[in-house]
Each structure stands twice: as structure tokens, then as C-alpha cells.
Amino acid sequence: MRKVDAPRHDPIPIGEVSAPPFCKLPNPLILFAERTQRLRMLAQSSELAPYLLFLSRLTEAQYRIQDDLPLPAMPGKDAMARAREYRMPPLDRGRFTTDAAFDETLERLLWLAREFEMPPTAANALERVIAQDAGARQAMIDALLADSVPVEALAEHVFVAAALQVQFARLAARLDAKTLVPVGDGACPACGGPLVASTVVGWKGAHGSRFCACALCGTLWNYVRIKCTLCGSTNGIGYQEIEGGAGTVKAETCDECHRYVKILQQQKDAALEPLADDVASLGLDLLMRELGYRRGAFNPFLLGY
Ligand SMILES: [Zn+2]
Ligand SMILES: [Zn+2]
């Protein structure tokens, strides 16, 4: 019979209690399930409810299509070691090529999306994506991975962006967090993607630490507070929020680069979700535009702002 040791209750050394991990890799099922829940919750009291509900169906599809989905191809060990040596992200989105897993991901998403209720503009865009040839599809992938989506085709790109998120979250989930290194301000250490927002977490052992959230793969990486997440400046950092706001979603402004990225207080409200709350707080973007700051975050579901 195997002997099972009783659990030990060693005291945690004080110095280690608040040392946050450098990054937290996504769980691709939990990521999209929590995002769906949050979008639904936000829709209950938002002027943007129809759009938030449409997005909640899309994120639910991102969750549902993962059942038996083939695993995406990981880069080789040598390539990952080289990336680490040169401080490059191991899943470099700039070098992404589609594989069987991605094709299946996109197909499943497009067919599932056909089933749900959506505004006519989105439904028409969906049909255009389904009818597209491989070249046009590749052009959309390239535009999304370069954060340069043409304004006239925003609605089409939403579906391809959703497929890319699933693919990259599933790739990132299979990395070893301990091997990741910082790759520069404003860039995800797993895929090189831009951040969608940053969040001050309430996790045990990392309470009050700030993490940037990747818009593409969902990885969270640690970043000190009161420092511009885009240019790294610690001078001229300010915080703005909508009058009468709950204090849980603010814009962190930088007077060096004149940009802002939203910062969430998940330690005060654990339900906050970077991508969902970024969309739902569109009013803050409008205020920031009036104040003369440019949006520095990337959110494929909030393009055009
Ligand atoms: Zn990423
Ligand atoms: Zn800055």
C-alpha cells in the first residue's frame, strides 16, 4: 500500500509572501468562460448592451469550439531557446503561420456564429468572411497581428480576431511560465502582442501587484505600478475616471507619450475582466479623447477608438 504523507503546514517565509510571479499563462477554457460571464453581467446595466451581448456569444463560442479541437503546432525547442536568449517572445505573432488547428478553429467559430443573434452589420460581415478566399483571409490575419485593421472592415475582423485569440491562448497555455522573460514595454512576453489593459490583482501572494493583460493570448505579465505600460516612463503618470465611477476602471495617462491604457482594480472587484471591461468602459475612451490622450491599448472588439 502506498503511504500518503499528511499535508504539511510550513509557515511561509515573510519575504516571499508578496513576490508576484513574472507572468501567469492563460487557461484557454477559463479565460473565455470568465470573459463570457463578465460580458453578460456588464450588459445588464450598459447602454452598450446589444454589442456586449453579441460579444458574449462570440466569447462563448471561443469557449465551446475547444472541445476536441486539434492542438496547435508549438515552435521547436531550439527556436524557443533562441527567442529567450534574444529576449523575443517564443510565440512571436509577427511570424505566425496558420496550421490545421487554426483553420479548424476559424471554421468552427464561423459556423457557430451563424447560429447566434447579431446585428445586421455583423451578420453581413460574417457572410463576407465565410465567402472569402485564402488570400483575403490571410490579409485579415496579417492586419490583426500588426494592429492595423482597416477601418472600413472592422466588423469582418472581429471573427478572425476571435479565432486568433483561441489559437494563441492555447499555444500560450502550453508554455512554461518560468522560461519567459521581459521582451519590452507594452509587449506580451509569450506572443509579443499588445496589452488590452492592466489590472491590480488580489491574488494570494501577489495582492496589490499589477499585471498587463495580453489582447491576443491572454497572458498576464507583472509590471510595476505608476509607470507607463507603453513607453516605460515613470514621469507624468496620472489617473482619470468617469465622474461618479466606482473607482475600479481608470485610465492611466502618460505625459511622456501622451497615451493612456486602462487600469482595473481586480483586488476590489474580482469579477473585472480586462477585455470585457475595456469594451464596456467606452465612455472613458471618449473622455480621454476630449482630454487629448491617444488610446494605447489594442482591443480587436473595440476598434475604431
Ligand atoms: Zn500574448
Ligand atoms: Zn508613456
**pLDDT of res. 116:** 87
Ligand nearest to the CA of 187: 1
Ligand nearest to the CA of 238: 2
How many whole angstroms from 175 Cα to the centroid of ligand 2?
29
How many whole angstroms from 293 Cα to the centroid of ligand 1?
25
291 contacts: CB under 8 Å, gap ≥ 6: 240, 253
pLDDT in tens, 55-80: 999 999 999 999 999 999 999 999 99
Ligand nearest to the CA of 91: 1
Ligand nearest to the CA of 90: 1
How many whole angstroms from 241 Cα to the centroid of ligand 2?
18
How many whole angstroms from 215 Cα to the centroid of ligand 1?
7
How many whole angstroms from 255 Cα to the centroid of ligand 2?
7
How many whole angstroms from 45 Cα to the centroid of ligand 1?
30
pLDDT in tens, 109-168: 999 999 988 889 889 999 999 999 999 999 999 999 999 998 888 999 999 999 999 999
How many whole angstroms from 281 Cα to the centroid of ligand 1?
22
pLDDT in tens, 215-226: 999 999 999 999
pLDDT above 60: residue 11: no
Ligand nearest to the CA of 229: 2
How many whole angstroms from 28 Cα to the centroid of ligand 1?
12
How many whole angstroms from 299 Cα to the centroid of ligand 1?
12
How many whole angstroms from 195 Cα to the centroid of ligand 2?
13
CA distance 211 to 198: 6
**pLDDT of res. 235:** 96
Ligand nearest to the CA of 235: 2
Confidence of residue 1 (pLDDT cuts 50, 70, 90): very low
How many whole angstroms from 173 Cα to the centroid of ligand 1?
10
Q: Measuring CA to CA, which residue among 305, 301, 214 is closest to residue 259?
A: 305
How many whole angstroms from 136 Cα to the centroid of ligand 1?
24
Ligand nearest to the CA of 294: 2
CA distance 54 to 59: 9
Ligand nearest to the CA of 252: 2
**pLDDT of res. 305:** 60
CA distance 263 to 265: 7
Query: With contact defined as beta carbons under 8 Å apart, do 286 and 262 qualify?
Result: no
205 contacts: CB under 8 Å, gap ≥ 6: 16, 17, 18, 19, 20
pLDDT above 50: residue 214: yes
Confidence of residue 22 (pLDDT cuts 50, 70, 90): very high
Ligand nearest to the CA of 93: 1
Confidence of residue 281 (pLDDT cuts 50, 70, 90): very high
Ligand nearest to the CA of 221: 1
How many whole angstroms from 179 Cα to the centroid of ligand 1?
14
How many whole angstroms from 260 Cα to the centroid of ligand 2?
7
